[in-house]
Amino acid sequence: MQTFAEELDQLRSQGLYRSMRVIKGAQGSHVDLDGKRVLLLCSNNYLGLADHAALRRAAVFGAALGTGSGASRLVSGTMELHMELEERIARFKRTEKALVFNSGYAANTGIISALVGRGDDIFSDKLNHASIVDGALLSRANFHRFPHRDMAALERLLQEKAGTGRRLIVTDGVFSMDGDIAPLQRMVQLARQHDALLMVDDAHGTGVLGATGRGTAELLGVMDGVDIHMGTLGKGLGSFGAYAAASAEICEYLVNKARSFIFSTSLPPAVLAPSVAALDLVDSREGKELRDRLAANVALFKGKLAAAGFDTMGSETQIVPIFVGPAEATMQFSRELLEEGIFVQGIRPPTVPAGSCRLRCTIMATHEPADLEAAADTIARVGKKLGVV
Protein backbone atom coordinates (compact mmCIF):
# COMPACT_ATOMS: atom_id res chain seq x y z
CA MET A 1 0.00 0.00 0.00
CA GLN A 2 1.32 3.44 -0.96
CA THR A 3 1.89 5.95 1.79
CA PHE A 4 0.35 9.40 1.51
CA ALA A 5 3.82 10.85 0.94
CA GLU A 6 4.44 8.42 -1.93
CA GLU A 7 1.13 9.32 -3.55
CA LEU A 8 1.96 13.01 -3.26
CA ASP A 9 5.36 12.38 -4.89
CA GLN A 10 3.59 10.52 -7.69
CA LEU A 11 1.28 13.47 -8.27
CA ARG A 12 4.32 15.77 -8.48
CA SER A 13 6.02 13.52 -11.03
CA GLN A 14 2.86 13.47 -13.18
CA GLY A 15 2.40 17.25 -13.10
CA LEU A 16 -0.83 16.79 -11.10
CA TYR A 17 0.25 18.18 -7.72
CA ARG A 18 -1.85 21.08 -6.46
CA SER A 19 -1.04 23.87 -4.05
CA MET A 20 -2.72 27.10 -3.04
CA ARG A 21 -1.58 30.58 -3.95
CA VAL A 22 -2.39 33.35 -1.51
CA ILE A 23 -3.77 36.69 -2.71
CA LYS A 24 -3.19 39.72 -0.52
CA GLY A 25 -6.01 42.26 -0.45
CA ALA A 26 -9.19 42.50 -2.50
CA GLN A 27 -10.23 40.47 -5.54
CA GLY A 28 -9.89 42.97 -8.37
CA SER A 29 -8.73 42.81 -11.97
CA HIS A 30 -5.18 42.95 -10.60
CA VAL A 31 -4.08 41.29 -7.35
CA ASP A 32 -0.99 41.05 -5.16
CA LEU A 33 0.31 37.49 -5.41
CA ASP A 34 3.49 36.46 -3.60
CA GLY A 35 4.52 40.10 -3.34
CA LYS A 36 3.98 40.77 -7.05
CA ARG A 37 1.21 42.73 -8.78
CA VAL A 38 -0.32 40.53 -11.49
CA LEU A 39 -3.28 40.54 -13.87
CA LEU A 40 -5.94 38.18 -12.51
CA LEU A 41 -7.11 36.04 -15.41
CA CYS A 42 -8.55 33.02 -13.58
CA SER A 43 -11.30 34.38 -11.32
CA ASN A 44 -15.04 33.67 -11.51
CA ASN A 45 -15.69 37.25 -10.36
CA TYR A 46 -17.04 37.96 -13.84
CA LEU A 47 -18.76 41.30 -13.15
CA GLY A 48 -16.13 42.48 -10.69
CA LEU A 49 -18.66 42.65 -7.84
CA ALA A 50 -16.55 40.89 -5.20
CA ASP A 51 -15.04 44.22 -4.11
CA HIS A 52 -17.86 46.51 -5.28
CA ALA A 53 -18.69 49.35 -2.90
CA ALA A 54 -22.42 48.52 -2.78
CA LEU A 55 -21.72 44.94 -1.71
CA ARG A 56 -19.16 46.08 0.87
CA ARG A 57 -21.73 48.44 2.39
CA ALA A 58 -24.29 45.65 2.49
CA ALA A 59 -21.81 43.37 4.24
CA VAL A 60 -21.27 46.00 6.94
CA PHE A 61 -25.04 46.28 7.41
CA GLY A 62 -25.32 42.49 7.65
CA ALA A 63 -22.45 42.23 10.14
CA ALA A 64 -24.31 44.62 12.43
CA LEU A 65 -26.86 41.80 12.86
CA GLY A 66 -24.16 39.39 14.04
CA THR A 67 -21.32 37.25 12.78
CA GLY A 68 -23.25 34.00 12.67
CA SER A 69 -26.77 32.62 12.39
CA GLY A 70 -26.33 30.26 15.32
CA ALA A 71 -28.09 27.19 13.94
CA SER A 72 -29.43 25.37 10.93
CA ARG A 73 -32.42 26.80 9.10
CA LEU A 74 -34.92 24.38 10.67
CA VAL A 75 -33.77 25.04 14.23
CA SER A 76 -33.27 28.75 14.88
CA GLY A 77 -31.04 29.74 11.97
CA THR A 78 -33.62 31.33 9.68
CA MET A 79 -33.29 35.11 9.88
CA GLU A 80 -35.23 37.81 8.06
CA LEU A 81 -32.33 38.21 5.62
CA HIS A 82 -32.62 34.55 4.57
CA MET A 83 -36.25 35.13 3.66
CA GLU A 84 -35.49 38.44 1.92
CA LEU A 85 -32.76 36.85 -0.19
CA GLU A 86 -34.93 33.87 -1.13
CA GLU A 87 -37.79 36.15 -2.17
CA ARG A 88 -35.33 38.24 -4.20
CA ILE A 89 -33.90 35.16 -5.94
CA ALA A 90 -37.39 33.88 -6.79
CA ARG A 91 -38.28 37.22 -8.40
CA PHE A 92 -34.97 37.22 -10.25
CA LYS A 93 -35.42 33.69 -11.61
CA ARG A 94 -39.18 34.16 -12.09
CA THR A 95 -40.17 31.20 -9.96
CA GLU A 96 -42.63 30.74 -7.11
CA LYS A 97 -39.99 30.15 -4.45
CA ALA A 98 -36.27 29.82 -3.82
CA LEU A 99 -34.12 28.16 -1.21
CA VAL A 100 -30.60 29.24 -0.20
CA PHE A 101 -27.83 26.67 0.32
CA ASN A 102 -24.37 27.21 1.80
CA SER A 103 -22.43 26.46 -1.41
CA GLY A 104 -22.85 25.23 -4.95
CA TYR A 105 -21.55 21.82 -3.92
CA ALA A 106 -24.02 21.63 -1.04
CA ALA A 107 -26.85 22.72 -3.32
CA ASN A 108 -26.22 20.14 -6.06
CA THR A 109 -25.60 17.22 -3.73
CA GLY A 110 -28.60 18.17 -1.61
CA ILE A 111 -31.06 18.89 -4.42
CA ILE A 112 -30.29 15.82 -6.54
CA SER A 113 -30.14 13.33 -3.69
CA ALA A 114 -33.45 14.68 -2.35
CA LEU A 115 -35.40 14.67 -5.61
CA VAL A 116 -34.44 11.18 -6.79
CA GLY A 117 -33.46 7.89 -5.17
CA ARG A 118 -33.44 4.13 -5.70
CA GLY A 119 -35.51 3.15 -8.71
CA ASP A 120 -35.38 6.64 -10.21
CA ASP A 121 -33.28 7.76 -13.18
CA ILE A 122 -30.83 10.63 -13.68
CA PHE A 123 -29.70 11.74 -17.14
CA SER A 124 -26.53 13.84 -16.97
CA ASP A 125 -24.16 15.45 -19.47
CA LYS A 126 -20.71 13.84 -19.23
CA LEU A 127 -19.05 17.21 -18.65
CA ASN A 128 -21.31 18.25 -15.78
CA HIS A 129 -19.66 19.62 -12.66
CA ALA A 130 -18.27 17.19 -10.07
CA SER A 131 -20.92 18.26 -7.56
CA ILE A 132 -23.65 17.04 -9.94
CA VAL A 133 -21.89 13.70 -10.32
CA ASP A 134 -21.50 13.37 -6.55
CA GLY A 135 -25.14 14.30 -6.00
CA ALA A 136 -26.17 11.59 -8.46
CA LEU A 137 -24.00 9.00 -6.72
CA LEU A 138 -25.36 9.98 -3.30
CA SER A 139 -28.92 9.64 -4.56
CA ARG A 140 -28.44 5.94 -5.46
CA ALA A 141 -30.67 6.49 -8.47
CA ASN A 142 -29.80 4.91 -11.82
CA PHE A 143 -27.18 7.25 -13.27
CA HIS A 144 -27.04 7.61 -17.06
CA ARG A 145 -24.46 9.90 -18.68
CA PHE A 146 -24.74 11.06 -22.28
CA PRO A 147 -21.94 12.47 -24.49
CA HIS A 148 -21.43 16.20 -24.12
CA ARG A 149 -24.39 18.18 -25.52
CA ASP A 150 -25.51 15.15 -27.59
CA MET A 151 -29.29 15.47 -27.66
CA ALA A 152 -29.78 12.45 -29.90
CA ALA A 153 -28.00 10.33 -27.29
CA LEU A 154 -30.09 11.85 -24.50
CA GLU A 155 -33.28 11.08 -26.42
CA ARG A 156 -32.19 7.45 -26.92
CA LEU A 157 -31.46 7.08 -23.21
CA LEU A 158 -34.83 8.54 -22.27
CA GLN A 159 -36.53 6.05 -24.61
CA GLU A 160 -34.47 3.05 -23.48
CA LYS A 161 -34.59 3.72 -19.73
CA ALA A 162 -38.34 4.05 -19.40
CA GLY A 163 -38.87 3.15 -15.75
CA THR A 164 -41.74 3.88 -13.39
CA GLY A 165 -39.85 6.21 -11.05
CA ARG A 166 -38.94 9.86 -11.23
CA ARG A 167 -36.75 11.06 -14.08
CA LEU A 168 -34.32 13.96 -13.75
CA ILE A 169 -32.35 15.56 -16.57
CA VAL A 170 -29.54 17.67 -15.16
CA THR A 171 -27.01 19.86 -16.92
CA ASP A 172 -24.67 22.76 -16.45
CA GLY A 173 -25.96 25.89 -18.18
CA VAL A 174 -22.44 27.06 -18.94
CA PHE A 175 -19.81 24.31 -18.75
CA SER A 176 -17.18 25.56 -16.36
CA MET A 177 -14.06 24.20 -18.07
CA ASP A 178 -15.06 24.61 -21.73
CA GLY A 179 -17.15 27.79 -21.65
CA ASP A 180 -19.81 26.39 -23.98
CA ILE A 181 -23.57 26.40 -23.39
CA ALA A 182 -26.04 23.56 -22.95
CA PRO A 183 -28.71 23.12 -25.68
CA LEU A 184 -31.51 23.97 -23.24
CA GLN A 185 -34.20 24.48 -25.86
CA ARG A 186 -33.99 20.85 -26.97
CA MET A 187 -33.61 19.68 -23.37
CA VAL A 188 -36.86 21.39 -22.42
CA GLN A 189 -38.61 19.63 -25.31
CA LEU A 190 -37.23 16.22 -24.32
CA ALA A 191 -38.08 16.72 -20.66
CA ARG A 192 -41.70 17.44 -21.55
CA GLN A 193 -41.96 14.59 -24.04
CA HIS A 194 -40.55 12.05 -21.58
CA ASP A 195 -42.13 13.25 -18.33
CA ALA A 196 -38.82 14.30 -16.77
CA LEU A 197 -37.79 17.14 -14.51
CA LEU A 198 -35.13 19.47 -15.89
CA MET A 199 -32.52 20.94 -13.54
CA VAL A 200 -29.97 23.51 -14.76
CA ASP A 201 -26.85 24.44 -12.80
CA ASP A 202 -26.34 28.00 -13.99
CA ALA A 203 -23.46 28.89 -11.68
CA HIS A 204 -21.47 30.47 -14.52
CA GLY A 205 -24.39 32.09 -16.35
CA THR A 206 -26.25 33.81 -13.52
CA GLY A 207 -25.78 37.56 -13.54
CA VAL A 208 -23.86 37.39 -16.81
CA LEU A 209 -25.95 35.92 -19.63
CA GLY A 210 -29.31 36.98 -20.99
CA ALA A 211 -30.76 40.40 -21.65
CA THR A 212 -31.21 41.07 -17.93
CA GLY A 213 -28.53 38.75 -16.53
CA ARG A 214 -30.90 35.98 -15.51
CA GLY A 215 -28.66 33.40 -17.09
CA THR A 216 -28.50 30.74 -19.75
CA ALA A 217 -32.22 29.95 -19.71
CA GLU A 218 -33.04 33.62 -20.33
CA LEU A 219 -30.46 33.79 -23.11
CA LEU A 220 -32.13 30.83 -24.84
CA GLY A 221 -35.71 31.86 -24.06
CA VAL A 222 -36.64 28.89 -21.84
CA MET A 223 -36.94 30.37 -18.34
CA ASP A 224 -40.36 28.75 -17.87
CA GLY A 225 -39.19 25.38 -19.19
CA VAL A 226 -36.66 24.73 -16.44
CA ASP A 227 -38.05 23.01 -13.32
CA ILE A 228 -35.12 23.67 -10.99
CA HIS A 229 -32.87 26.66 -11.51
CA MET A 230 -29.74 26.10 -9.44
CA GLY A 231 -27.01 28.70 -9.26
CA THR A 232 -24.35 30.25 -7.08
CA LEU A 233 -23.99 33.67 -5.50
CA GLY A 234 -20.19 33.67 -5.44
CA LYS A 235 -19.29 34.01 -9.13
CA GLY A 236 -21.00 36.66 -11.26
CA LEU A 237 -22.83 37.93 -8.17
CA GLY A 238 -19.64 38.44 -6.15
CA SER A 239 -20.92 37.08 -2.82
CA PHE A 240 -21.21 33.52 -1.45
CA GLY A 241 -23.69 30.67 -1.27
CA ALA A 242 -26.07 29.01 -3.72
CA TYR A 243 -29.76 28.49 -4.35
CA ALA A 244 -32.52 26.42 -5.86
CA ALA A 245 -35.33 28.38 -7.52
CA ALA A 246 -38.39 26.31 -8.41
CA SER A 247 -42.05 25.78 -7.68
CA ALA A 248 -43.31 26.24 -4.13
CA GLU A 249 -43.92 22.48 -3.95
CA ILE A 250 -40.36 21.54 -4.93
CA CYS A 251 -38.84 24.08 -2.55
CA GLU A 252 -41.02 22.82 0.31
CA TYR A 253 -39.94 19.27 -0.54
CA LEU A 254 -36.26 20.28 -0.43
CA VAL A 255 -36.73 21.92 2.98
CA ASN A 256 -37.91 18.55 4.24
CA LYS A 257 -35.59 16.25 2.30
CA ALA A 258 -32.31 17.95 1.29
CA ARG A 259 -29.75 16.81 3.84
CA SER A 260 -27.16 19.48 3.00
CA PHE A 261 -29.83 22.08 3.78
CA ILE A 262 -31.27 20.43 6.88
CA PHE A 263 -27.97 19.58 8.59
CA SER A 264 -25.90 22.74 7.98
CA THR A 265 -25.65 25.92 10.02
CA SER A 266 -27.13 28.63 7.82
CA LEU A 267 -25.24 31.43 6.11
CA PRO A 268 -24.48 34.49 8.28
CA PRO A 269 -26.11 37.89 7.69
CA ALA A 270 -22.88 39.50 6.45
CA VAL A 271 -23.01 37.06 3.51
CA LEU A 272 -26.74 37.29 2.86
CA ALA A 273 -26.98 41.07 2.62
CA PRO A 274 -24.37 41.45 -0.16
CA SER A 275 -26.21 38.81 -2.21
CA VAL A 276 -29.39 40.89 -2.10
CA ALA A 277 -27.36 43.97 -3.08
CA ALA A 278 -25.77 42.05 -5.97
CA LEU A 279 -29.14 41.05 -7.43
CA ASP A 280 -30.34 44.63 -7.17
CA LEU A 281 -27.20 45.78 -8.95
CA VAL A 282 -27.57 43.22 -11.74
CA ASP A 283 -31.08 44.56 -12.33
CA SER A 284 -29.84 48.15 -12.49
CA ARG A 285 -28.44 50.26 -15.31
CA GLU A 286 -24.96 49.65 -13.93
CA GLY A 287 -25.55 45.90 -14.20
CA LYS A 288 -26.40 46.26 -17.89
CA GLU A 289 -23.26 48.36 -18.42
CA LEU A 290 -21.13 45.71 -16.69
CA ARG A 291 -22.57 42.93 -18.86
CA ASP A 292 -21.96 44.98 -21.99
CA ARG A 293 -18.41 45.70 -20.91
CA LEU A 294 -17.83 42.02 -20.16
CA ALA A 295 -19.13 40.99 -23.61
CA ALA A 296 -16.82 43.52 -25.29
CA ASN A 297 -13.84 42.30 -23.29
CA VAL A 298 -14.60 38.68 -24.16
CA ALA A 299 -14.83 39.47 -27.87
CA LEU A 300 -11.55 41.39 -27.77
CA PHE A 301 -9.64 38.67 -25.95
CA LYS A 302 -11.01 35.79 -28.03
CA GLY A 303 -10.29 37.66 -31.22
CA LYS A 304 -6.66 38.16 -30.26
CA LEU A 305 -6.23 34.50 -29.29
CA ALA A 306 -7.89 33.28 -32.49
CA ALA A 307 -5.59 35.49 -34.56
CA ALA A 308 -2.62 33.93 -32.76
CA GLY A 309 -3.84 30.42 -33.67
CA PHE A 310 -4.98 29.16 -30.25
CA ASP A 311 -7.67 26.51 -29.82
CA THR A 312 -10.28 27.93 -27.40
CA MET A 313 -12.33 24.73 -27.52
CA GLY A 314 -15.63 26.19 -28.73
CA SER A 315 -16.07 28.65 -25.87
CA GLU A 316 -19.25 30.77 -26.13
CA THR A 317 -18.84 32.73 -22.91
CA GLN A 318 -16.45 34.56 -20.61
CA ILE A 319 -14.71 31.26 -19.83
CA VAL A 320 -11.96 30.98 -22.44
CA PRO A 321 -9.91 27.76 -22.33
CA ILE A 322 -6.62 27.49 -24.20
CA PHE A 323 -6.01 23.86 -25.15
CA VAL A 324 -2.53 22.55 -24.33
CA GLY A 325 -2.82 18.77 -23.84
CA PRO A 326 -0.20 17.33 -21.46
CA ALA A 327 -0.35 18.26 -17.78
CA GLU A 328 3.29 19.28 -17.33
CA ALA A 329 3.29 21.45 -20.45
CA THR A 330 0.15 23.15 -19.19
CA MET A 331 1.71 23.92 -15.83
CA GLN A 332 4.91 25.16 -17.47
CA PHE A 333 2.78 27.53 -19.56
CA SER A 334 1.05 28.75 -16.39
CA ARG A 335 4.35 29.26 -14.54
CA GLU A 336 5.91 31.25 -17.36
CA LEU A 337 2.85 33.47 -17.68
CA LEU A 338 2.99 34.20 -13.97
CA GLU A 339 6.60 35.29 -14.38
CA GLU A 340 5.28 37.69 -17.03
CA GLY A 341 2.68 39.09 -14.62
CA ILE A 342 -0.37 37.08 -15.73
CA PHE A 343 -2.08 34.79 -13.22
CA VAL A 344 -3.94 32.01 -15.04
CA GLN A 345 -4.27 28.48 -13.70
CA GLY A 346 -3.66 25.25 -15.56
CA ILE A 347 -6.52 22.73 -15.43
CA ARG A 348 -5.58 19.05 -15.20
CA PRO A 349 -7.12 15.68 -14.29
CA PRO A 350 -9.34 14.86 -12.51
CA THR A 351 -11.03 18.17 -13.38
CA VAL A 352 -10.64 17.43 -17.09
CA PRO A 353 -9.80 14.15 -18.88
CA ALA A 354 -6.16 13.18 -19.35
CA GLY A 355 -4.70 14.69 -22.50
CA SER A 356 -7.14 17.61 -22.51
CA CYS A 357 -5.35 19.92 -20.07
CA ARG A 358 -5.77 23.60 -20.69
CA LEU A 359 -5.29 27.08 -19.35
CA ARG A 360 -8.66 28.33 -18.14
CA CYS A 361 -8.76 32.06 -18.78
CA THR A 362 -11.71 33.97 -17.39
CA ILE A 363 -12.60 37.51 -18.39
CA MET A 364 -14.03 40.18 -16.09
CA ALA A 365 -16.03 43.31 -16.82
CA THR A 366 -13.47 45.27 -14.82
CA HIS A 367 -10.50 44.23 -16.98
CA GLU A 368 -9.13 47.13 -18.98
CA PRO A 369 -9.10 46.39 -22.73
CA ALA A 370 -5.45 47.43 -22.97
CA ASP A 371 -4.54 44.90 -20.27
CA LEU A 372 -6.36 42.13 -22.12
CA GLU A 373 -4.65 43.01 -25.40
CA ALA A 374 -1.25 42.95 -23.71
CA ALA A 375 -2.09 39.66 -21.96
CA ALA A 376 -3.15 38.02 -25.24
CA ASP A 377 0.11 39.16 -26.85
CA THR A 378 2.11 37.70 -23.97
CA ILE A 379 0.17 34.43 -24.09
CA ALA A 380 0.87 34.20 -27.82
CA ARG A 381 4.58 34.84 -27.32
CA VAL A 382 4.93 32.28 -24.50
CA GLY A 383 2.72 29.79 -26.32
CA LYS A 384 4.91 29.93 -29.42
CA LYS A 385 8.04 29.52 -27.30
CA LEU A 386 6.56 26.37 -25.70
CA GLY A 387 5.23 24.99 -28.99
CA VAL A 388 1.56 25.25 -28.06
CA VAL A 389 0.84 27.17 -31.28
Query: Catalytic site residues?
Result: 176, 204, 235
Coil, strand, or helix at residue 96?
coil
Q: Are 221 and 239 in contact (CB under 8 A)?
A: no
Q: Are 243 and 89 in contact (CB under 8 A)?
A: yes
| Of 230, 225, 243, 234, the residue nearest 183 (C-alpha) | 225
H or E element in which residue 112 lies? helix 104-115
| Of 386, 209, 379, 387, the residue nearest 306 (C-alpha) | 379
| Of 341, 330, 350, the residue nearest 377 (C-alpha) | 341
**For residues 294 and 220, what is the distance between their CA atoms, to the nearest angstrom?**
19
Coil, strand, or helix at residue 209?
coil
**Alpha-carbon Rg for the chain in angstroms:** 21
